[in-house]
Structure 1
């Protein structure tokens, strides 16, 4: 199945609204903002499908016009089912002047025998900013499917004024290299990755806040400053629910620190 979602936001009277939205089976885009005076538009991406199936192609296109503030979440875990061939997902994002996107999806769960690749390209201009999250899991642990997928790859590229400023390639092929080995997950099974880029934020102070927040958590983490004004947060753990909770709390700290 080939599925597409296209969203464009704009600002009217200081409030971010949907300028246009297109989606086909199995997706639906729903506005979940409770306070209609809140400048931030909150959308949830819903799906009637149980997950990603063999030979699925998923295309997402998000455009934030000048001054837009948009947060996108998902309905449920993204399950990657057993595949004979493979499946693919492509996301393209354009964030214009003074606009901000927060993308906080549920964890990805690759089932035994799945083969999946995703490509994310995010384009920033001027004072636009982004908070981009991803939670990867080893598979269905309760069914003893720990790193039993064929292959998983997630490539994320962020451009500033068409110049590549951030690149990440998460590539796992357990048949060739055991992810539990030294120098990789080392006994952990889940990973949270968050990247935040914002030219106007006081990054060093934010880094100290996040360090303080994570220091008393039962996890392994690292926080790095990016070459541009931003941070990358990585957390290893063995529970998806914990990572989801921490992702939301980290997002709250970032917003309170100032965008």
Structure 2
């Protein structure tokens, strides 16, 4: 049976508002095992780091993240450490993420990489709503093959990640990832292509598309340790996928790409 070890859903609710030219958290709610560090301002963004008293994601865990980014606010979300998805015997863990970004606001969802242990199973659902073209959103997710040095390369049971991003009432991005190593050759062409780590990045449209494309391609070409590319989507937004053999390489490169926004 798929039982929540905490007996209830673990949640994090944050509301960010612009007050006196500073982005402040005006509403904060969380439950075990979560809490947050004291927010701080860097590069004109208010940064929030999620802390967890848990050793990682366990069988049956149910989690909800809810972010409200009000008009003019500029918020970045990070996590304290890598998300470790522990071994699960029968069930799975599930997370739901809801994001609402109002006009003239910006939100960057940039957690630490995810490591799926052997026999783990995780299902993530994200719904992001941008009020209009002045609402800006960036998302970075880094997913590894597992504990490579323990010979746990693609030995998890499954990993599902379903993402929908709306601008107004229009769907502008959908990603329906389903990794099931017993059914798919995860190292083959079209999957990880021999690599062990994958970065998946979404960035909403730029004021200067050509310059942004050139700068990202330059970063990708300059790093011999990665293989990846950038795609301009139909509405002017960007999807970037990058392969590597180490999470740290992808973290460093992602940081440089996000700094261009």
Same fold by TM-score greater than 0.5: yes
Give the aligned partner of residue 194 of structure 2. Answer: 187
Alpha-carbon distance in 2 for matches of 1:193, 1:27 = 25
Q: Contact 2:82/2:115 (CA < 8 Å) preserved in 1?
A: yes
Pairing of 1:108-187 with structure 2 (within 5 A): 108-126=114-132, 127-187=134-194
2:60 aligned with 1:50, yes or no? no
Q: Contact 1:31/1:41 (CA < 8 Å) preserved in 2?
A: no
Partner of 2:171: helix, strand, or coil? strand
Alpha-carbon distance in 1 for matches of 2:204, 2:184 = 32
2:28 aligned with 1:21, yes or no? yes
Partner of 1:31: helix, strand, or coil? coil
- 1:202 paired residue among 177, 198, 208: 208
Q: Contact 1:117/1:153 (CA < 8 Å) preserved in 2?
A: yes
Deviation at 1:19, TM superposition (A): 0.9
Alpha-carbon distance in 2 for matches of 1:213, 1:150 = 34
Deviates more, 1:244-253 or 1:5-14: 244-253
Alpha-carbon distance in 2 for matches of 1:73, 1:204 = 29
Partner of 1:168: helix, strand, or coil? strand
TM-score, with structure 1 as normaliser: 0.94
2:199 aligned with 1:219, yes or no? no
| Deviations 1:104-144 (CA, angstroms, capped at 9, x unpaired) | 11111000000100001000012101011100100001111
Q: Contact 1:14/1:39 (CA < 8 Å) preserved in 2?
A: no
Deviation at 1:246, TM superposition (A): 0.9
- 2:112 paired residue among 92, 106, 110: 106
Deviation at 1:93, TM superposition (A): 0.2
Alpha-carbon distance in 2 for matches of 1:110, 1:147 = 8
Q: Structure 2: which 5+ residue stretches go unaligned?
A: 1-5
Alpha-carbon distance in 2 for matches of 1:71, 1:96 = 15
- 2:40 paired residue among 33, 41, 49: 33
TM-score, with structure 2 as normaliser: 0.93
2:55 aligned with 1:61, yes or no? no
Q: Contact 1:197/1:228 (CA < 8 Å) preserved in 2?
A: no
Moved over 6 A (4+): none
Q: Contact 1:203/1:231 (CA < 8 Å) preserved in 2?
A: no
Q: Structure 1: which 5+ residue stretches go unaligned?
A: 255-259
- 2:100 paired residue among 74, 94, 102: 94
